[in-house]
Amino acid sequence: MRDTTVDTEQTHAEGVLDSTVEPSSDVKPILEVRNLHVSYDTVRGPIQAVRGLSFQLMPNEVLGLAGESGSGKSTLALALLRMIKSPGRIVEGEVLLDGRDLLSLSEREMRHVRLADIAMVAQGAMNSLNPVMRIRDQIIDAWTDHGIRYGRQESEERVADLLRWVGLRPDVARLYPHELSGGMKQRVVIAIAISLRPRVIIADEPTSALDVVVQRQIISTLRRVQTDLQAAVILIGHDIGLMAQSVQKLGIMYAGKVAEMSPVYEMFDEPMHPYTRMLIDSLPSPDQKGQLRGIPGITPSLLDPPPGCAFNDRCPYALERCTTEIPALEEKRPNRMVACHLFTEGQ
């Protein structure tokens, strides 16, 4: 297959998302999630996939959400776009985009919000693209669904511009998804997501199943379009090593809740929650060849979550109160939030 990536797309020149930018203290959040609960109904009872989750996303900010499989990351992404399907349901909470609660909108209103104001780059690009439609037609569908009509020539020009924007040549437009590599398909998904210039982009494991070189290219593409759009990004994944290079602020999720959230460099320099510390320690290190560290035990069942802190049976520092009292996510240091009784005043 010939190279259909723009020649100027050089990842070593792109760098990674700037993790040093701090939002101004007087800027209001563009997205605010308050006490969000999402469950999946089963014959044995509801599985509590997201449990009272709250966080803020500032304009132009890149927020990472990481954790083990089953921690609620992808469920959260779908909930933010109101794409939870039965047997799943949003039980309660608020999702405020520029002060407007998305959970209170009608389905018709929400369809106009998706892609135009908040968009998703889903994991598994092949599953996001129609295998029997040319790339051009799939991109055009994005704005046609929002009632936007262009003439044929203008549509062709806009499709070409979008493809160039994500580092692909315009002739990709006439190809089918199966004619593209995994990285190229993921770029097409990004092109569709940014076609209406949304203010918030949710990237749900956009580099899964890609090799490390292409992962860097995809992250660089996100960096460029995020900067061009002045959009905020939520990057969801389980690779905290990649997160360290890609986000400004990192939230660690466990059992449907946020265990810790802080600027990414501070978190890696001094993790506060034991779960965060053990996740970071489990990363491969050239200084410890042949020594792999894991986290003992398994994640708890969200059908019947344990009392107290959900991590208590795996935590080497658990206190007695950890088995009975759920720790609140609170600011224990400037800009650092943690849900752990070890940092409760007086303990």
Residue 123 structure tokens? 């994991």
Q: What is the pLDDT of residue 194?
A: 94
Residues 234, 83: Cα–Cα separation, whole Å: 16
Predicted confidence at residue 78, as pLDDT, reads 95
pLDDT for res 311: 96
Which regions in the chain score pLDDT beneath 50?
1-4, 6-21, 23, 346-347
β-strand pairing of 232-237 with 200-204? parallel
Radius of gyration of the chain (CA): 21
pTM, two decimal places: 0.89
**Residue 20 neighbours by CB distance under 10 Å:** 8
Measure the CA–CA gap between 158 and 140, rounded to whole angstroms. Answer: 9
In angstroms, the CA 108 to CA 112 distance is: 7
Domain boundaries, given as residue ranges, for the chain: 27-269, 276-343
Query: What DSSP state is assigned to residue 272?
Result: -
* CA–CA dist 196, 181 (Å, integer): 25
**DSSP single-letter state for residue 168:** B
Between CA 4 and CA 23 the distance in angstroms is 37
Residue 318, CA atoms < 13 Å, CB-side half-sphere = 17
pLDDT at 179: 95
C-alpha 38/C-alpha 90 separation (Å) is 4
pLDDT of residue 3: 46
What are 223-273's pLDDT values in tens digits? Answer: 899 999 999 999 998 888 888 888 999 999 999 999 999 999 999 999 999
Residue recorded with tokens 């400037």? 334
Report which DSSP code applies to 342. G
Q: pLDDT digit string (tens) for 178-232?
A: 999 989 999 999 999 999 999 999 999 888 778 888 888 888 899 899 999 999 9
Please state which of the four CATH numbers 2.60.120.10, 3.30.565.10, 3.30.750.24, 3.40.50.300 is assigned to the domain occupying 27-269: 3.40.50.300
Q: Decide the pairing of beta strands 62-66 and 232-237.
A: parallel
Q: What is residue 2's predicted lDDT score, i.e. its pLDDT?
A: 43
Q: What is the DSSP letter of 114?
A: B
Any alpha helices (H) in 62-131, and if so which ranges? 73-80, 107-113, 125-128
| 3-class state of residue 208 by DSSP | coil
